[in-house]
Structure formats: structure tokens, C-alpha cells
Amino acid sequence: MTIKCLAIDDEPLAVRKIGSYIQKTPFLELVGECRNAFEAIDLLNQEEVQLLFVDINMPELNGMEFVKTLTIKPYIVFTTAYSEYAVEGFKVDAIDYLLKPVDYSSFLKAANKVKALVDLKTAGSVETLSTSPEHLFVKSEYKLVRIELNDITYIESQHEYIKINLINRKPVMTMVSLKAIEDQLPIDQFMRVHRSFIVNLKKITTIERNRILFDDKVLIPVSDQYKDKFQKYIDEYFI
């Protein structure tokens, strides 16, 4: 399993160096190199990224402020030339802190910390999910909970957890990745429409401006990455 990464730094040489480190590390995958936080925000709306290497000292919106704006936070490794930011960095749950100029051995040490967390989470998810064509079992609050697939309206990623929203029943939270549960669901009934959302196609009643409306109050966006696939479904089944 590879970990999808994003390098963010306003210094061209610095962002290219981190990008090259990501590319030479077998268990990492470079999704993109961004020169500022706003480029990163745009890319995060299109791609599922698990790890950010973020420079702190950037114009307009610095790395620390950028991370605090994220609703769903990937793993974070900060990079900076100023050591006084270290304590503040760990206050926002950063995995590590790399002082510039960053050498590969320090980079790899930080990457291995993230890999250990991802491996632990993946190992836990193997026993978390159990499925049949009509239902699945998930581990929630130390119990195995049976969920009928037809009762699911949509599934939402919430960093370490997913929230399974159900008809006439409170949502179920379980510690597993959105990708892991996506792989277990029937593709003719469920579709990923955003890096943070999977929807039950059979429960869609209203679509407006590339957004899916559930329960007359929940609007789920369809991102550009999944727009063509979703439009194909609409064209095939909607009149």
C-alpha cells in the first residue's frame, strides 16, 4: 500500500526537493507539488491525500494556519527553517517536524512514522469489515454492528473514522478508511462522488448544481474528479 503525499512550499527548490524525496521512497506516492496553501486546497478538493509535507513560512496563509483550516486532516509533517515553531506544530497533531535544509535520512524517519500509523490502521480495518451482498458488519464502540446496505444513505470520511449515515437510525462511526469500505461495497449501488463521500445511488432523489441532496438538508458535493462518472450514471438512469 502506498501513501499519497502532497508537498507544499513557496520555495521552488525546497518543494522540488521534498517531491524528489517522496518519489524515491517506495511506500510513498507524489500526488502534487504546491507553491502555496491555496493551490493545496484546490488539489485536496480533487484528490484523496493521506500525508502533507507543509512549509510553515508561506505568504498570505502560512502552513500552520492552513492546517488549522482543514476539516479532514491528513497526516502532517511540517518543514521550516525556524526551530521555534516546533512546539506549536505539535499542538496541531503534526507527526513530525523537519528543520531545513531537510536531508533524506530525516525525511525518511518522518515518513516511517507515518507508515507505521497507516499500517496499524490498515491492520485494524481487516477485521473491522465483513460483508455479504445485502449487509455488512462494522466494529463500533467495541461491538460488531450489522448494517443493511439498503439502509445506507451516504458515508462520510472524518479523518481516522467514517460516519455511515442511515435511514431512520442514528449514524454509525467506525475506524476504517473510506477507501477500505468503498472496496467492499457493490459498485452498482454505491459511488464515490468526492474524496470525503460515498453515496447510495438508490437513495438519490434530488440533484442540484453538482450537489446531491439528502433529507432536504444535507448537500453532498460532486467533485471534478468524479463528475464524469456520476454524469454517466445520471444520463443512463435519469430521464
pLDDT, tens digit (0-9, with 9 covering 90-100), for 95-109: 888 999 999 999 999
pTM above 0.95, yes or no: no
What amino acid occupies position 72? I
Dump pLDDT digits (tens) for 15-68: 999 999 999 999 999 999 999 999 999 999 888 899 999 999 888 888 988 998
Using DSSP's 3-state secondary structure scheme, residue 231 falls into: helix
Asked whether the beta carbons of 3 and 51 are under 8 A apart, the reply is: yes
Among 9-18, 31-40, 82-91, the minimum mean pLDDT is found in 82-91
CB 2 within 8 A of CB 87: no
Q: At how many degrees (to 10) do helices 104-128 and 12-24 cross?
A: 50
Regarding the domain with residue range 3-125, which homologous superfamily does it belong to in the CATH classification? Answer: Response regulator (3.40.50.2300)
CATH superfamily, domain at 129-237:
LytTr DNA-binding domain (2.40.50.1020)
DSSP state of 77: E
Could you state, in order of their start, the residue ranges of all structural domains in the chain? 3-125, 129-237
pLDDT of the residue at 151: 95
* Alpha-carbon span 166 to 168, nearest angstrom: 6
**What percentage of the chain carries pLDDT values higher than 90?**
44
Q: Is 135 helix (H, G, I), strand (E, B) or coil?
A: strand
